[in-house]
Structure 1
Amino acid sequence: MNKKTLGIGIVGARYGARMHHANYMSLTPGLVEIRGICALTEESAKTFAEDIGVSFVTTDLDELLVREDVDVIDICTPPASHHEIAIKAAEAGKHIIMEKPLTGYFGEPGDAEPIGFHVPRAKMRAGAIQNAEAVREAVRANKVLFCYAENWVYAPPIVKMRNLIAASKGSVLELRAEENHSGSNSFFSKEWKYMGGGALLRMGAHAVGACLYLKQWEGQHRRGKSILPVSVMADTADLIHTEASEYAKKANAHQWISSDPVDVEDWANVVIKFDDGSRATVLVSDVGLGGLNTRVTAYMTDGVVKANMTANNVIETYAVDPETFAGENFTEKLETKAGWNRPSCDEDWFRGFSREIEDFVHSIHESREPLSGIDLAVDVVHVIYAAYQSAEEGRVIQLSTK
């Protein structure tokens, strides 16, 4: 039986929206059709729509939500607007695809700015959890599907890691997850009021999400119930604005790092304790040169599995002049194409972007939960904001995820 073509309305018109569109286009023809673009400015919406051949453009979300031919709202906006758009979409009966993170704390009347310097993390944590739970309640109350775009869950190295864990008889004692690069160029990444945090939320959502997913999956596979996080201990810093970087700045030896936060962190280290006694360590940094580095290692009682989602050696290049291969993409965040490099053959596939979109579309067609859904999205917010509170207060924070 032929499946109905899903009508997609994309909210947002920049990098995330374009990446999602590219992966929709790799699906079997007839599964989806982009039927509308909504963006903050008419100019950006029109530019994106013209590039992809979509006629309906608006800056008013309600105009997109009332369209009967739009079945799914794909949210690719900065995090500050995520939870409000998601709740309105759910109340309109639309299924939801959302770029990570789900939400955060973005300030409220009376908060002195920049809020990252003035608002206690305990208050931020309460506000972020309230936003996250409001989305989950709206999704459940309106019986729509929520697809959380956590690509690490779908990345082939993580999928293989899960299969290898299943093949063993041992247990995972520790997970170590890491993401490093030389900084985001997004204006929104510099301030808490737009992003809801710094590297820990923007990048750490990947690493935290992967660790939570793997432990929940291990628990279901081994004992029939999820292994859940119970406490968090963390440290965060703005390393590019420390005394340690001053000498480099005077010598003009820091220009390859674009990180320049206002009131957010560019480095974080988090230890998560699970209810089976195991641990996960998450390290994220916006001040790491060498291109994008993403990896997860599982230390087991009977083996070790390392999943590397960026570096590979299936193809290698060498160039004296960085412009030699200028016209071809290598991998995200690479500072130079000079010297030896290892380009990604298919970055969207290898890092899980194409697989997540495929799962989301099929889950909506089949009325089933996606592999990465609302519960994982909410749990990530719980853990990351507990980490922010831990870093500020210098103590272990207990969790109450559900």
Structure 2
Amino acid sequence: MSLIKIYNGTVITPYRTIREGTILLRDGKILEVTDKNVEAEGATAINARGMYISPGFIDIHVHGGGGHDFMDNTVEAFLGIARAHARYGTTSLMPTTLSCEKEDLLKTLSVYEEANVLNKAGAGFIGIHIEGPYFSMNQKGAQDPRYIRYPDPEEYREIIAYSASVKRWSAAPELPGALPFGEFLRSKGILPAIAHTDAIYEEVLEAYEKGFVHATHFYSCMSGVSRRNAYRFAGVVESAYLLDGMTVEIIADGVHLPASLLKLVYKIKGADRIALITDAMRGAGMPPGKSILGSLKDGVEVIVEDGVAKLPDRSAFAGSVATGDILVRNMVRLADVPLADAIKMSSETPASIMGIADKKGSLVKGKDADVIIFDEDIRIDTTIVNGEIVYPASELTISN
């Protein structure tokens, strides 16, 4: 479809909300955003019937969905996850790994390259996010302790040289060798992020100066205020609040963070510094019950219940089963966040964090045609990725 016209909807732009607005898409780009019902001869016309028209969600931390995990290391899994999340409004996502052996990680990178070329029917891929294995054992969460280790220059240099698709790497900055690791990532245009960490403020500050400017799944598997030899120390949570420029991502599934903390993060950091993420594992979009976190080959058995994945002994969460629509809905309903800000945190802000805001994340002329239509309850009706309708809703009128 070279030309698409979406009309009679409430268009959410970075500058204003346009009621009864129209958006034109051509050849994968946004051609026009207007408050007029412009003529578009030969266009595929979609009547939004008063629903919202917004940029698609950008998920910069997702492990799986629809019964698949990226570390299954199959093209089928990659494409299945992309299709599953597109149904819930995600138009771009970052396949995310777990702590593993180097050989398995290299395999994931190879499969990513293959799947990226074939991915035409789901959310687009915007690069790999490596989560681990350079973590604090005390903050491992659901990460497999067999693979947790200190940064190894020979290892990470080989991995980065192997694939240009790595765009982000999460690690604990207090580990021996972590600061040179962060500097190396920055020199390659890769975002170092703080995760699974016991760092105190002084360590976070130094890491921030070395390039660790983003906090992975904020509050989860990271230090808060602690006492050492009777003295109190600020942890990563307090550090992220103190450092105005540090961005954070939150799993707004209503389980990992209660409404009170969602409100606190929003109050202090604001929509410009918060990205909504699913951190979804293979159970996203699937019925409750037993599941596997990580690869089918040697992943960790988990239980999906109460809207979240848990370790079998229920001692910790093991990733969420959220989808993009749930994140936005919870920020609006639980945290009392204006819809426009909730959309910003799920689109423009993650695009900015990953350095792709010039192409994605907002409904602006010339940007990629990643558009969704949803109703008052944030139920997704249509998902358009790069100008192609990948999830049409039957009740919408689509005609030439």
Fold shared, TM-score > 0.5 on shorter chain: no
Provide the TM-score with structure 2 as the length reference: 0.29
Normalized per residue, which structure has more strand? 2
Provide the TM-score with structure 1 as the length reference: 0.29
